[in-house]
Amino acid sequence: MPRLATAIHLGRGRRLAHDHAVTEQSVRPQPRRKVVSSPYIHRLQRRHFLLFDVLPIIGTVAAPALLAGHPFGVTELVLLLSMWLLTGLGVTVGYHRLFTHRTFKAAPAVVAVLAVLGSMAGQGGVISWVALHRRHHEYSDREGDPHSPNLSGGGLAGRFKGLLHSHFLWMRRHEYPNIVHYAPDLLKNRLLVRVARLYYWWVVLGLAIPALIGGLAEMSWLGAVSGLFWGGLVRIFVLEHIVWAINSFLHMFGTRPYESRENSRNGGLFALITLGESWHNNHHAFPDSPSFGLDWYRLDPGFWLIKALAAAGLAWDLKTPGRDRIEAKRITKPAA
Ligand SMILES: [Zn+2]
Ligand SMILES: [Zn+2]
C-alpha cells in the first residue's frame, strides 16, 4: 500500500500538471505525464516524512520513559486500541477498498467518516494516497512501482536494500503520481477534495482527541501527554509499520495461491492485526473485490465492516467475485 503526499499536493500538483500540459501543447501534442517531479513537491515529501514517519518513531522510543512518571493504564490501552482500529479501518476500508478500488458504493456520510479516519492515520491525503496506490497496481514489482522490494538488485544485500526501500525509505523522495491522470474520479467528488485539503488538520485532530480524553480521564496535564503519546504517536507508529509491512514483506515472503503478474503474497497469520490486508496476493489477483479473504473462514475485519454497513443500508453494490472466477485463477487447487 502506498502513502504520502499531502492536501497541499492536491492544489499544487494540479497546477503543475496544468502548466506542464500548456507548455507541451505549445510545442507539440504529447500524452499527459503520469508523474510529476519538482523541488517543491520533494520538499513537501521530506517534511511529511519527518513529521509523520520519523516523529512517531521518536515518540514510540520516548514513550517508555513516560512510564516513569505515568503508568500505562486502562485509559492508555483503550486509546491505543480504539484509535488504531478506527484509523486502520479508515485506511483499509476507506482509502483502499472504497476510494482506490471502488469495490463498493457507500452513503456520503460513510464516505466522509472513512476519509477523515483514514487521514488521521498520517499516511497522506486521500487523493494522493489513492493515486500512489493505483500506480502501485499498474506497475507492481516493475519499473514505475513506487515501492517494490524487488527492484534493488539480487543477493542478500539487494533484497535487504529492497526491503528497506519498500518499507519506508521510498517516502523520503519519490515521483509524485499525477492525480489528474490517476484519480480524476476523486477530483470530481467535492466532498473528498474538501477532506483532502484539510489533511493536516485531520492528523492534528487524531492527536488532539486522545490527548483530550487522556487529560479529562485523569483531569491532569500528564494524563493528556500520556494520551497524546499512546493514542497518538505510538498508534500512528504501530499502524504505519503494519501498513508498510504489506508493501515490503508481503511482496517478498508468504503464500501465493492465486495467479497474478507481480510477486504479492498472503500472510494469513497477520490477518487480524492488518484488518484483512495481509491477504495481499488475493487482493492483487482480485483488486475489485471488497473481500480480501475471499472465503468466510479467512479473517478479514475490513470486509466485516463493509458487510455490516451493507446490512444497515449504508453500503451497496459489493463487487464480490464469483466462485468460478476465483477458481480460474487458483494456482494451488484444493484437494479433491
Ligand atoms: Zn501490493
Ligand atoms: Zn490495492
CA of 223 to the centre of ligand 2 (A): 38
CA of 100 to the centre of ligand 1 (A): 13
CA of 44 to the centre of ligand 2 (A): 24
Ligand 1 (single-atom ion) residues, CB below 5 Å = 264
CA of 133 to the centre of ligand 2 (A): 6
* Residue 326 pLDDT greater than 80, yes or no: yes
Residue 249's pLDDT is 95
pLDDT average, residue stretch 121-126: 96
**Residue 67 resides in a domain:** yes
Determine the Cα angle at 211 with ends 205 and 215, to 5°: 140
Q: Quick one: which ligand is closest to 149's CA? A: 1
**Residue 62 resides in a domain:** yes
Residue 28 banded pLDDT, cuts 50, 70, 90: low
CA of 215 to the centre of ligand 2 (A): 38
Q: Quick one: which ligand is closest to 96's CA? A: 2
Q: Which of 43, 53, 334, 313 is nearest to 167 (CA)?
A: 53
SS3 176: strand
Mean pLDDT over all residues of the chain? 90
Residue 8's pLDDT is 37
Residue 72 banded pLDDT, cuts 50, 70, 90: very high
* CA-to-CA dists, residue 110 to 107, 128, 303, angstroms: 5, 20, 15
Range of the domain at 135: 7-328
Residue 258 region, left (φ>0) first, then alpha (ψ -120 to 50), else beta? beta
pLDDT average, residue stretch 102-127: 97
Determine the Cα angle at 136 with ends 178 and 204, to 5°: 70
Read off the C-alpha cell for 235. 498508534
* Residue 27 pLDDT greater than 70, yes or no: no
CA of 132 to the centre of ligand 1 (A): 11
Domain count, the chain: 1
- Compute the radius of gyration of the chain from its Cα atoms: 20
Residue with cell 515529501: 45
CA of 26 to the centre of ligand 1 (A): 38
CA of 96 to the centre of ligand 2 (A): 6
Q: What is the pLDDT of residues 218-275, one digit of tens each?
A: 999 999 999 999 999 999 999 999 999 999 999 999 999 999 989 999 999 999 999 9
Residue 215's pLDDT is 96
Q: Which residues pair with 176 in a beta bridge?
A: 36
CA of 27 to the centre of ligand 2 (A): 37
Q: What is the pLDDT of residues 179-233, one digit of tens each?
A: 999 999 999 999 999 999 999 999 999 999 999 999 999 999 999 999 999 999 9
Q: For the chain, how many residues are written?
A: 336
**Residue 19 resides in a domain:** yes
pLDDT average, residue stretch 124-145: 95
Q: Exposed, middle or buried: residue 251 (CB in 10 Å: 0-12, 13-18, 19+)?
A: buried
CA of 214 to the centre of ligand 2 (A): 35
Full-prediction pTM beyond 0.75?
A: yes
CA atoms within 13 A on the CB side of 198: 16
CA of 284 to the centre of ligand 1 (A): 7
Residue 1's pLDDT is 53
Say if CB 279 and CB 271 are below 8 A apart: yes
DSSP 126: H
DSSP 68: T
**Residue 316 resides in a domain:** yes
Residue 69 banded pLDDT, cuts 50, 70, 90: confident
**Residue 194 resides in a domain:** yes
CA atoms within 13 A on the CB side of 279: 27
CA of 89 to the centre of ligand 2 (A): 14
CB neighbour list of residue 123: distance below 8 Å, 6 or more residues apart: 3, 4, 52, 91, 95, 129, 240, 243
SS3 149: coil
Residue 262 region, left (φ>0) first, then alpha (ψ -120 to 50), else beta? beta
CA of 283 to the centre of ligand 2 (A): 7
**Residue 1 resides in a domain:** no
Distance CA(33)–CA(21), nearest Å, equals 8
CA of 218 to the centre of ligand 2 (A): 41
* Residue 333 pLDDT greater than 80, yes or no: no
Distance CA(246)–CA(76), nearest Å, equals 27
Q: What are phi and psi of 145, to 5 degrees?
A: -70, 125
Say if CB 182 and CB 34 are below 8 A apart: yes
* Residue 300 pLDDT greater than 70, yes or no: yes
SS3 122: coil
Say if CB 194 and CB 126 are below 8 A apart: no
Q: What is the pLDDT of residues 50-67, one digit of tens each?
A: 999 999 999 999 998 888
Determine the Cα angle at 101 with ends 255 and 171, to 5°: 75
Read off the C-alpha cell for 59. 515518540
Q: What are phi and psi of 6, to 5 degrees?
A: -120, 180
Residue 153's pLDDT is 87
- Which residue type occupies 146? P
CA of 254 to the centre of ligand 1 (A): 13
**Residue 98 resides in a domain:** yes
- Which residue type occupies 302? G
pLDDT average, residue stretch 92-106: 98
Q: Quick one: which ligand is closest to 139's CA? A: 1
Residue 154 banded pLDDT, cuts 50, 70, 90: confident
CA of 326 to the centre of ligand 2 (A): 17
Residue 19's pLDDT is 40
**Residue 334 resides in a domain:** no
